[in-house]
Amino acid sequence: MTILLDKPKLSKLFRLQWEEAQGGYVLLYPEGMVKLNQSAAEILKLCDGERDVAAITQALERAFSVGGLRADVDDFLRIANERNWIT
């Protein structure tokens, strides 16, 4: 399933940041915090409203020297969109 968002970006309701106390990246929002795994954080760092899903996938595949990530990226972005993390 391909995500419907053209160029996803982090919602203005959330802030992505490294939290030393959590030992990883988190999404902060007025009501709390979501601790992210490394994969989720790497994808969200690329959701800048400038890159489309293909460019995000290519950047991840280059950065981690792997291929075939499109389905995983699509799945994560679908979930992130459902949770209103991205627009």
Q: Could you report the per-residue pLDDT of 34-82, keeping only the tens digit for each?
A: 999 999 999 999 999 999 999 999 999 999 999 999 999 999 999 999 9
C-alpha dihedral (70, 78, 7, 56), degrees to nearest 10: -30
Fold of the domain spanning 15-82: Arc Repressor Mutant, subunit A (1.10.10)
Asked whether 76 and 43 are in contact (CB, 8 A), the reply is: yes
DSSP state of 50: S
Q: Is the dihedral of CA 46, 52, 55, 61 positive or negative?
A: positive
Number of neighbours of residue 40 by Cβ within 10 angstroms: 19
Q: Could you report the per-residue pLDDT of 1-44, keeping only the tens digit for each?
A: 444 578 999 999 999 999 999 999 999 999 999 999 999 999 99
